[in-house]
Amino acid sequence: MHRWTYIVRRLILAVVVLLSVSVVTFFIARVVPSDPAAAWVGSHPKPDQIARARIELGLDKPLYVQYLMYMNKLFHGDLGTSVQTHHPILMDLKTYLPATLELVLVGMLMAIVIGIPLGVLSGAKKESVLDHVTRFFSVAGVSIPTFWLGLLLQLLFFSKLGLLPLNGRLSVDTTLYHPVTQITGFYLVDTLITGNWFAFKDALLHIILPAFTLATYPIGLTVRMTRTSMIEVLNQKYILAARVAGLPERTVLFVLALKNAIIPTITVLGLSFVYSLTGAILVEVIFSWPGLGTYVTNAVLSLDFPVIVSVTLIVTVFYVFINLFLDIVQAMLDPRVTLQ
């Protein structure tokens, strides 16, 4: 029961955090010496055009009025209009956010599927050949620059081997002859729902390289975290007790030890998930992935403040919820953790 009161309290706190973030980003955006009205009308504007745009955008009003206007719209689900594309931001986000989420989720899945087993085995067989190889690659994964790795992978799997597509979410053929019906915006999910196998396979092939490029850092981190905490857990008396009780080593490592060791790994994975939402920009650029990173980078370059503020808010929402989610997961895994 107190778990629910805890969650409600955290949600109330989340609202406070979001309000503060909206205030800070909004005012920072307005303090920067640039003229949104000039950006709105485009190149070579006449002074009267700028003046009209200023009134249209409400930029002539006091700052706090502008903020209240902005928040009022926000509560009605209107994130504003992009100065650069002149599209409603919500519409832009509907295409960009799922693209990034899909990429990041597949990357995280790779980090879990590859990183955790390697970390477990590496920790269990400390100083073995497997451990040394794993540690070499996990250090490499953490330190190789993303853009360089992305280019190398393209060179290898596209140019040399011809196994995987170069970039984008789908190939032109698919877009023309097997178009994806947009339901969730996740192509892998949408194609599955509609039974569009051709497009599913195409989307899957397209996501492998960018997702893996994105995943190298979290994989390296996951391996190292899991290995370290496995080594610590395997020294515990209850592991000896389980082995003495005759339980098979597989169970000891992947059930009895892992459930204890995985908690710090989950925290790291959750945080790198949020980081990747906007941090995936290099990967998105290299693989021409139409995602949030590309969107917000363009917005920053063209001082598209409504977009910057909206994306900041969205990422904050993810950040707050991931953290809450992590705390709940931790409490579920470790009964000694109480949510208070």
Partner 1 sequence: MKDGVLLSVENLHVRFDTYAGQVHAVNGMTFDVRRGEIFGLVGESGCGKSVTGLAIVGMVPHPGRITAGRILFDGEDLLSKDEEEMQHIRGRRIAMIFQDPSAALNPVFTVGNQITRIIRHHMNLSRRDAYERALSVFEAVGLPDPVRIYRSYPHELSGGMQQRVMIAMALSSGAELLIADEPTTALDVTIQAQILDLLAHLRETQHLSILLITHNLGVVAEICDRVGVAYAGNIVEMGATEVVLNQMKHPYTEGLIAALPSPTRRGQPLQSIEGSVPDGLHLPSGCTFHPRCPHVMDRCRDHTPPRVQFSTPYGDHVVSCHLYAREEAR
Residues engaged in binding partner 1 (CB under 8 A): 236-238, 240-248, 251, 256, 259-260, 333-336
β-strand partners of 81: 88
Single-letter code of the amino acid located at 202: D
**Residue with the two structure tokens 């995602």:** 291
CB closer to partner 1, 97 vs 239: 239
CB closer to partner 1, 46 vs 237: 237
Cβ of residue 6: shortest distance to partner 1, in angstroms? Answer: 19
DSSP letter at 72 equals H
326: part of which helix (H) or strand (E)?
Answer: helix 305-333
Please report how many Cα atoms fall inside a 13 Å half-sphere around the Cα of residue 293, on the Cβ side: 23
By the 10 Å C-beta count (0-12 exposed, 13-18 middle, 19+ buried), 160 is classed as: exposed
Q: What is the DSSP string of 47-64?
A: HHHHHHHHHHTTTTS-HH
Cβ of residue 10: shortest distance to partner 1, in angstroms? Answer: 23
Cβ of residue 262: shortest distance to partner 1, in angstroms? Answer: 10
Cβ of residue 333: shortest distance to partner 1, in angstroms? Answer: 6
Cβ of residue 247: shortest distance to partner 1, in angstroms? Answer: 6
**Using CA atoms, how far apart are residues 315 and 285, in angstroms rounded to an integer?**
19
Please tell me the total number of residues recorded for the chain in this structure: 340
Cβ of residue 258: shortest distance to partner 1, in angstroms? Answer: 10
Residue pair 226/123 in contact (Cβ under 8 Å)? The answer is yes
CB closer to partner 1, 159 vs 235: 235
β-strand partners of 79: none
**Using CA atoms, how far apart are residues 253 and 255, in angstroms rounded to an integer?**
6
CB closer to partner 1, 65 vs 240: 240
**Residue with the two structure tokens 């082995």:** 243
CB closer to partner 1, 76 vs 336: 336
CB closer to partner 1, 215 vs 256: 256
The two tokens of residue 219 are 């994989």
Task: Give the contacts of 334 (CB within 8 A, at least 6 positions apart).
Answer: 260, 263
Cβ of residue 21: shortest distance to partner 1, in angstroms? Answer: 35
CB closer to partner 1, 46 vs 250: 250
